[in-house]
Structure 1
Amino acid sequence: MKRDSMPSRLTKTLKLLITLLTPVLIVLSAARLLATDPYLAFEYGKASFPPDSFGFTDRQRFILASMNVHYVRAHLPDDELSKHNLNGVPVYTSREVSHMADVQAVFQSTLRVWWAAFTLLLLLGFIFWRKREREAFASAIQSGGLFTSGMILSIALLALFAWQFWFNTFHLLFFEPGSWLFSYSDTLIRLFPVEFWFDATLTLSLFSLAGGLLLTFLGGRWRKALKPLQG
């Protein structure tokens, strides 16, 4: 064993932790990128994106969708959306307001998980660096990238070939049964139709897959670069 190096069992445990935390960081980073006005503009600007059948103009639609994103990201009060009116009529039903409060809670929880994963990965990287276990660290990065890529590819394929099952399962994991089901005339469905969520799922998968493959490549290259130094 090299002087100052970590015990083999501890090294393996910390490598496994990095491997498991990597997809958490990558996927949640991609999700944060999608919860932005630029992504809304990109999605709404597609020629294939369905128009609203109940009267919203493109501008009204974008503004309302942007308000929803801001509400979720900025952790605004639960009743914020209930204050929105259009021509004197409330924009959202009470069920929609309640669901968006649930969405906000889930999103804010993912932010806390993101920060926890980011902090832990920085700490683990520092430990490996200080203990001169850089080859093990590079290997962990490569493994994390591979694990992320495989997991995301599986999820994307499931979404492609069994969309309704995937969509229902996702919502059942995070929300009360039935709380996320609305009429086609309800505002949330008009702002975020199923095509939006299908595209968002594939976009998130592409971003995450790209991140996983990049880490796989960088980790592998780093390992090869370190081997001559340790030989």
Structure 2
Amino acid sequence: MRSHRAGVAILALAFALFGLVALALVWSGDWAYAALANANGVKGATFRSYGPCTFAPPTSCFVEGPISLESLLGWHRAWATYVAGLSSEAPVTFGRSTFTSDEYAHMADVRAVFRGFEIGAVLGLFVAAYDVAIARRRGDAMRLIRSGALVSAAIVALVGVAAAVAFDPLFLLFHEIFFPQGNFLFSSDSNLIRLYPEWYWQGITAGVGLSFVAAALVTAATSHIALRRRSNTYTPAG
């Protein structure tokens, strides 16, 4: 028979995978981008458009100009929809180009990786449900859920602390693992970098992490209360 610890480990990992991906989708919304932009005093950015060029490479024929926060939100919405798989086409412009071919290639890779995480999240949900179903047959479901939620919260909190201390190295490590082809490095004047600067990634990471820890603790507390109530339930004699 599988041990309780093994069940807790499986549930914690499955819960973390499903929860983090689900919350990443929630935090990819316009509301999060707008809130983070306002918190950082961002009212807009400077974008550059390219081409068409007759005698020079497209990247040599560029014009820079201001772009409003509303326009940034529009681009973010289009890219988020594409990456999440809700649209099969990457956002485009007509006439002059806003993003380079390298930026489009990287976002196609981001889409592929995130779609993989989405599939993993669905599998994680089924694994978690199966794990709980087995524990339920033993009358141990609430204890398993409580322990699994606490372990997953501890794991995510630990990673969150590490990210708070060394965000840049961990961010780079993440990209090196999931994008080994190395096409994730762009100059500071890249429109993709200007659309998604460091304040965005730091805010999203913190938001997703804190939301997950809070949800896991609520789940653990709810399970604990259910266990306490069950232990206090008795059948009167006579």
| TM superposition score normalised by structure 1 | 0.83
Partner of residue 180, structure 2: 176
Unaligned runs of 5+ in 1: 1-6
Partner of residue 113, structure 1: 120
Task: Report the CA distance shift for 1:162/1:18 in structure 2 as closer, same or farther (over 3 A).
Answer: same
Unaligned runs of 5+ in 2: 48-65
Q: Distance in 1 between matches of 2:177 and 2:223?
A: 33
| TM superposition score normalised by structure 2 | 0.81
Aligned residue identity for 1:61: L
Question: For 1:55-94, what per-residue CA distance to the aligned partner results, in whole angstroms no more than 9, with x for missing partners?
Answer: 22222211111110111123544xx33x6226x2111111
Comparing both structures, which one devotes a greater share of its residues to helix? 1
Task: Report the CA distance shift for 1:29/1:75 in structure 2 as closer, same or farther (over 3 A).
Answer: closer
CA shift for structure 1 position 179: 1.2
Task: Report the CA distance shift for 1:216/1:170 in structure 2 as closer, same or farther (over 3 A).
Answer: same
1:92 aligns with 2:99: yes
Identical amino acids, percent of aligned pairs: 22
- Pairwise CA RMSD of aligned residues? 2.3
1:157 aligns with 2:161: yes
Aligned residue identity for 2:220: T
Question: For 1:155-183, what per-residue CA distance to the aligned partner results, in whole angstroms no more than 9, with x for missing partners?
Answer: 11111111111111111121125311111
2:209 equivalent among 205, 212, 225:
205
> Relative to structure 2, which stretch is displaced further, 65-74 or 217-226?
217-226
Task: Report the CA distance shift for 1:163/1:229 in structure 2 as closer, same or farther (over 3 A).
Answer: same
Question: For 1:114-159, what per-residue CA distance to the aligned partner results, in whole angstroms no more than 9, with x for missing partners?
Answer: 1111122223333333x2x23x211111111111221111111111
Based on CA coordinates, which of the two structures has the bigger radius of gyration?
2
> Relative to structure 2, which stretch is displaced further, 29-38 or 42-51?
42-51
Residues 75 and 104, structure 1, Cα contact 8 Å, conserved in 2: no
Comparing both structures, which one devotes a greater share of its residues to strand? 2
CA shift for structure 1 position 14: 3.5
Aligned length: 217
